[in-house]
Amino acid sequence: MTPAATPPRTFSTTDATTGGTTGAPASDPRLAPARRWTRDRWLATADGLLDAVLPYASPGGALIALPGPVSASGVWSDGLEGYARTFLLAAFRLRGEDGRDPAGLIERYADGLRHGTDPTGDERWPRVDERRQAVVEAASVAIGLSETRPWLWDRLDDGTRQRTVDWLSGVVGTRGYTNNWLWFQNVIEAFLASVGGPWEQSDLDHNAETAESLYVGDGWYSDGRGRGGRRQNFDHYAGWAWHVYPLLHARIQGRPLERVHADRLRAYLDQARHLVGSRGAPMLQGRSVTYRHAVLAPFWAGAVADATPLSPGATRTLTAAVAEHFDAAGAVDDRGLLPVGWHRRYDRVRQLYTGGSSPYWASKGFLGLLLGADHPVWTAAPELPEAWQEPHAVALRAPGWLVSATPTDGVVRLLNHGSDRAIEHALTVRGDDPFYRRLAYSGVTSPQLAAGDVAAPLDSHTALLDTRGVPSHRDTVERVHLDDAVAVSRSRVCWLDVPGRGPDGEGPDDGQGDDAGWAGLRLGPVLTTASVVRGPDEVRLAWWTPATTAAPGRAPAPGTTAEDLDRDAAWPVDAGPWRLHVGGWPLAAAKDGALRVERSADRSGTLVRVVRDDGTSSHVRALRVAVEDGGAPAPSPGTPAETSLDVVGAVRRAGSDPLGAASAVPWLRTSAPVAAGEVVAALVVLTGEDGARRRPAPAVRVRRGADGGPPAAVEVRWPDGPVDAVPTGSAS
């Protein structure tokens, strides 16, 4: 097994945190969902979801086009998606019940198969050469047929079986799978081989080589490569695709999960368990979050394959808490459907490939139904997962994340210093992808997703402001340092110029937009951001340094990359000067009146706080920075320090957040331009407890570096004594 890099850094209840508990009595409310979500309730939930889609099926049942947006692949493809993804849920339910079928699912999906594979029929499915999305859905069909083989496939007429083989065979010999899609081809060809159909070993060999090249350690796969070949594409696909399909592939072949995949699954779960809050809220980060329950798929896979660090009772507690979280949040609408969204319907979480049927990849979250009623997951007493027992911080080195959890308020915070999904070419206009390049994510907050928020990001974001007040975007993330307390990264920032948008992303600009009506970029300097954590508190530090560029009219220095050459050729460089913005966590509520904004200032600095009616609080507080020149003695404790974050504010939004109709983001800014190498510091806090309690401020000390360069040394001293040093040097 690949071990986690380090054990979590825990905090005692005397630290400046929302304390924790080291025990879990039977009355602990966090265990209650596991008692409510028995296997029978999971079955009933699955049956309800399957019944609800019936009114949207075509006469023969081959196409199930559910309400919602239409994907880029079109309504026809979306109808196949509805069939395939609900069939996957039906298959898990049928296999786990050993073929017992009170609702007639077998005949329903057999009818759909007959009509969908009829090449001359009105309900035929798109072939792989007609819609690339058919590869994804064909994989679910293959898995469903394998899991239900004794009751469905083996009872089909020969003509339907041959037409099904012909339709699935469209994937054989195809290429170009550079991310998790390679597993779709693997499972389809495994099923074809199991029924005497065509398959090619060269396809499998090529996919194995590609998959291995994307493995980065500790159970993590990068879901494809980004700009410059970087492996920094991390999200839930690492679990619900890269670790689930090897298990389903092995089941098609009738063998146990291979040792290498079992070890990697166990290692992944050892880290992924830190990404689910103790009240069942999973991390809202990355694309395809509308799949919701699919975040549970790797946890169930670990139980099915006996490749998990969680006990059966802990697996049951975690999975039940997530199911109850989505249930309570209204993820299933009044029609019994899963609409596009995270909680309720919210179309702005979609990608171009998302249609009304897409959310039914949530079926993977019901993988646990493969476990019979006598499995320990269902019979063992619920147990509190270890990650829910006390406040802690842990570095997830493969994705470059520093995770901080406070179990008593259920909040898990992810500070992103390593994942960017920067897949666009350097010549392409590119914005800060809100699902990947924000500095911070959690299970109880969401990036702001209205068009203006994407064009001019403010939330959970550190940015340089140009002379018009437009915030910069974070581009490719370059890692500098990561441990269980401190994370540092840097990025050459850029500004996205969008016609018709002002400095806050709303309304008209000042006439400096592009007259041709297309967006452009302006390049900026390198912005370094550091996060130092203790409990719910993050000290956020930032400074900028000039970007390295070729001298005008001179050849670039040896070793200059093609990407740097393209960037230099493509876009103008902003000359500055720049102010600095520190954006706090966004909070959402059902109505604007449930969010209160408070501002204050005293000798220790300025503060702005957003408080929700339930007590959840997001605040940012300016910190004073004690500066010493290189070679000078350190200042005494009484030496005055300065804070340049002297402007406070909060932006309110309507319709920008999938967690509520209203939202607000607190922020701090400098009123004057920031010099190169000047360190700006703020305390950034998201907490569900003691939101109004003002704790003593950490102390920040900086030793200046060379003119225009990064600081020579930075340290953060916490009020109760511990000191964290912040590396500022070259990337590791």
Q: What is the pLDDT of residues 470-529, one digit of tens each?
A: 999 999 999 999 999 999 999 999 998 877 655 555 554 443 433 444 578 899 999 999
For the residues 418-446, what does the mean pLDDT come to? 90
Percent of the chain with pLDDT strictly greater than 70: 90
690 CB burial (10 A radius; 0-12, 13-18, 19+):
middle
DSSP secondary structure string for all residues of 472-499? PB--S-EEEEE-SSEEEEEEEEEEEE-T
- Asked whether the beta carbons of 406 and 439 are under 8 A apart, the reply is no
Return the structure tokens found at 526: 């390198």
What's the confidence (pLDDT) of residue 651? 97
What's the confidence (pLDDT) of residue 642? 63
442 and 546: one domain?
Answer: yes
Residues ≥6 apart with Cβ < 8 Å to 661: 588, 589, 590, 591, 592, 654, 655
557 and 634: one domain?
Answer: yes
215 CB burial (10 A radius; 0-12, 13-18, 19+):
middle
What's the confidence (pLDDT) of residue 692? 55
pLDDT beyond 90 at 39: yes
> In what side-by-side order are the strands of the sheet with 625-628?
625-628, 699-703, 713-717, 723-726
Which among 485, 506, 549, 414 is positioned nearest to 726, based on CA atoms? 485
Q: How confident is the model at residue 635 (pLDDT cuts 50, 70, 90)?
A: very low
378 and 463: one domain?
Answer: no
What's the confidence (pLDDT) of residue 427? 77
Count of CB atoms situated within 10 Å of the CB of 238: 25
**CA angle in degrees (0–180, nearest 5) for 238-244-248:** 155
What's the confidence (pLDDT) of residue 561? 73
370 CB burial (10 A radius; 0-12, 13-18, 19+):
buried
434 and 363: one domain?
Answer: no
Is residue 514 a part of any domain in this protein?
no
- Asked whether the beta carbons of 680 and 645 are under 8 A apart, the reply is yes
Is residue 252 a part of any domain in this protein?
yes
Distance between CA atoms of residues 15 and 626, nearest Å:
23
Q: Name 652's bridge partners.
A: 664
- Asked whether the beta carbons of 441 and 416 are under 8 A apart, the reply is yes
Its domain, for residue 633, covers 400-502+519-726
Global pTM value: 0.93
Which bin fits 454, alpha (ψ -120 to 50), beta or left (φ > 0)?
alpha
Is residue 638 a part of any domain in this protein?
yes
Return the structure tokens found at 167: 């339709």
Distance between CA atoms of residues 664 and 12, nearest Å:
32
For the residues 391-418, what does the mean pLDDT come to? 97
277 and 344: one domain?
Answer: yes
302 and 417: one domain?
Answer: no
What's the confidence (pLDDT) of residue 685? 97
Q: How confident is the model at residue 1 (pLDDT cuts 50, 70, 90)?
A: very low
Tell me, letter by letter, the H, E, C secondary structure of 292-358.
HHHHHHHHHHHHHHCCCCCCHHHHHHHHHHHHHHHHHCCCCCCCCCCCCECCCECHHHCCCCCCCCH
Is residue 27 a part of any domain in this protein?
no
pLDDT beyond 60 at 405: yes
Which among 364, 368, 401 is positioned nearest to 218, based on CA atoms? 401
Which among 431, 407, 415 is positioned nearest to 482, based on CA atoms? 415
What's the confidence (pLDDT) of residue 708? 85
Domain end call among 388, 418, 447: 388
Q: How confident is the model at residue 224 (pLDDT cuts 50, 70, 90)?
A: very high
Longest dimension (CA), the chain: 87
Domain end call among 346, 365, 388: 388
pLDDT by residue (tens digit) across 527-570?
Answer: 999 999 999 999 999 999 999 866 666 677 777 777 666 666 77
Count of CB atoms situated within 10 Å of the CB of 235: 21
Find the range with the poorest average confidence among 52-66, 147-161, 319-333, 718-732.
Answer: 718-732
Report the number of distinct structural domains present in the chain: 2
Distance between CA atoms of residues 276 and 323, nearest Å:
12
Instruction: Show the beta-strand stretches assigned E in 380-420.
Output: 392-396, 401-406, 411-416
452 and 369: one domain?
Answer: no
Tokens 């296997």 sit on residue: 39
Cα dihedral: 468, 471, 476, 477 (round 10): 130
Count of CB atoms situated within 10 Å of the CB of 403: 25
Q: For position 418, which CATH number holds?
A: 2.70.98
Distance between CA atoms of residues 88 and 294, nearest Å:
12
Burial annotation 80-112 (CB, 10 A radius, 16+ → b, else e): bbbbbbbbbbbbbbbbbeeeebeeebbebbbbb
Which among 103, 116, 102 is positioned nearest to 53, based on CA atoms? 103
pLDDT beyond 50 at 402: yes
Tell me, letter by letter, the H, E, C secondary structure of 18-35.
CCCCCCCCCCCHHHHHHH
pLDDT beyond 50 at 16: no
365 and 452: one domain?
Answer: no
CA 285 to chain CA mean position, Å: 2
pLDDT beyond 60 at 430: yes
Residues ≥6 apart with Cβ < 8 Å to 220: 234, 238, 268, 271, 396, 398, 399
pLDDT by residue (tens digit) across 380-390?
Answer: 999 999 999 99
What's the confidence (pLDDT) of residue 15? 40
Is residue 200 a part of any domain in this protein?
yes
702 and 575: one domain?
Answer: yes
Tokens 């068009």 sit on residue: 451
pLDDT beyond 50 at 640: no
Count of CB atoms situated within 10 Å of the CB of 58: 17
648 and 556: one domain?
Answer: yes
CA atoms within 13 A on the CB side of 373: 7
Distance between CA atoms of residues 567 and 492, nearest Å:
11
Which among 63, 108, 31, 85 is positioned nearest to 297, based on CA atoms? 85
DSSP type of residue 592: G
Is residue 677 a part of any domain in this protein?
yes
Return the structure tokens found at 43: 């079955």
341 and 274: one domain?
Answer: yes
Percent of the chain with pLDDT strictly greater than 90: 82
User: Whats the size of the chain, residue-wise?
Assistant: 732
Return the structure tokens found at 270: 């050892």
Is residue 693 a part of any domain in this protein?
yes
Domain end call among 388, 415, 434: 388
Q: For position 141, which CATH number holds?
A: 1.50.10.10
Q: Name 634's bridge partners.
A: none
Return the structure tokens found at 667: 């922020």
Kindly report the average pLDDT of the chain as a whole number.
91
Residues ≥6 apart with Cβ < 8 Å to 645: 580, 582, 605, 606, 622, 623, 668, 669, 670, 680, 681, 682
CA atoms within 13 A on the CB side of 451: 7
Amino acid identity for residue 346 in this structure: Y
- Asked whether the beta carbons of 279 and 30 are under 8 A apart, the reply is yes
What's the confidence (pLDDT) of residue 95? 98
709 CB burial (10 A radius; 0-12, 13-18, 19+):
middle
pLDDT by residue (tens digit) across 351-370?
Answer: 999 999 999 999 999 999 99
DSSP type of residue 245: H
pLDDT beyond 80 at 33: yes
CA 137 to chain CA mean position, Å: 23
pLDDT beyond 50 at 731: no
pLDDT by residue (tens digit) across 152-206?
Answer: 999 999 999 999 999 999 999 999 999 999 999 999 999 999 999 999 999 999 9
Is residue 378 a part of any domain in this protein?
yes
Return the structure tokens found at 522: 């302006």
Higher confidence at residue 7 or residue 47?
47
330 and 451: one domain?
Answer: no
Higher confidence at residue 7 or residue 70?
70
Distance between CA atoms of residues 124 and 360, nearest Å:
21
